[in-house]
């Protein structure tokens, strides 16, 4: 929990908006497990924003460890996609923290808007969180001819 919390809070800049523990049958029932202890931390871009990340730490029951591919993507693998307006600062914090990247920062233009994605100059990087999950961070700036 601590490594993930440090990554999402201290490196990516999310804010802890809730920290709770559920124990016993209710905790186990939530995840289809026997009674256990479930520590949940919810994070958001700001104290007023909707939650975008939930960290779960499960104790009191044996669990299998999921093996994720490293250094490449695999069929069925998912990624958390977050947007930022502080791309360079986030990248600097990630570098300083020694975060491993699948894709270092790059830029690419998207000239035509789609239903969920505006046109713009996309700045994107894809990194691994402490548990090996892919996290894509992007900032969308105006295209040079739109500025």
pLDDT number for residue 55: 97
Q: What separation in angstroms does the CA of 7 have from each of 40, 67, 97, 102?
A: 16, 20, 8, 16
Position 146 pLDDT exceeds 70: no
Residue 48 and residue 10 share a domain? yes
Confidence of residue 68 (pLDDT cuts 50, 70, 90): confident
Position 113 pLDDT exceeds 60: yes
How many angstroms separate the CA atoms of 47 and 82, rounded? 16
Confidence of residue 147 (pLDDT cuts 50, 70, 90): low
Q: Residue 26 domain-assigned? A: yes
Instruction: Quote the distance between the C-alpha of residue 24 and its chain's center.
Output: 28
Residue 84 and residue 45 share a domain? no
* Average pLDDT of span 107-132: 95
Position 96 pLDDT exceeds 60: yes
Residue 93 and residue 39 share a domain? no
Domain containing 116 equals 79-141
DSSP state letters, 2-25: HHHHIIIIIIT--EEEEEEEEEEH
Q: Which two tokens stand for residue 44?
A: 């958001």
Q: Residue 66 domain-assigned? A: no
How many domains are there within the chain?
2
Q: Specify the CATH number for the domain of residue 115.
A: 3.30.720.110
Q: Residue 71 domain-assigned? A: no
pLDDT number for residue 125: 98
Q: Residue 67 domain-assigned? A: no
Q: Residue 25 domain-assigned? A: yes
pTM for the full model?
A: 0.89
pLDDT number for residue 72: 82
* φ/ψ of residue 7, rounded to 5: -65, -55
């Amino acid at each position: 929990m601590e490594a993930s919390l440090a990554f999402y809070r201290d490196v990516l800049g999310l804010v802890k908006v809730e920290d709770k523990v559920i124990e016993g049958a209710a905790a186990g029932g939530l995840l289809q497990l026997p009674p256990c202890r479930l520590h949940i931390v919810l994070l958001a871009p700001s104290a007023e924003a909707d939650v975008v990340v939930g960290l779960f730490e499960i104790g009191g029951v044996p669990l299998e460890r999921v093996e994720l591919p490293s250094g490449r993507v695999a069929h069925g693998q998912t990624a958390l996609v977050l947007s930022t307006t502080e791309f360079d600062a986030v990248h600097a914090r990630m570098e300083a923290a020694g975060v491993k990247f699948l894709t270092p920062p790059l830029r690419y233009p998207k000239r035509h808007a789609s239903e969920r994605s505006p046109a713009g100059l996309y700045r994107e990087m894809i990194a691994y969180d402490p548990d090996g999950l892919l996290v894509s961070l992007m900032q969308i700036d105006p295209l040079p001819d739109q500025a």
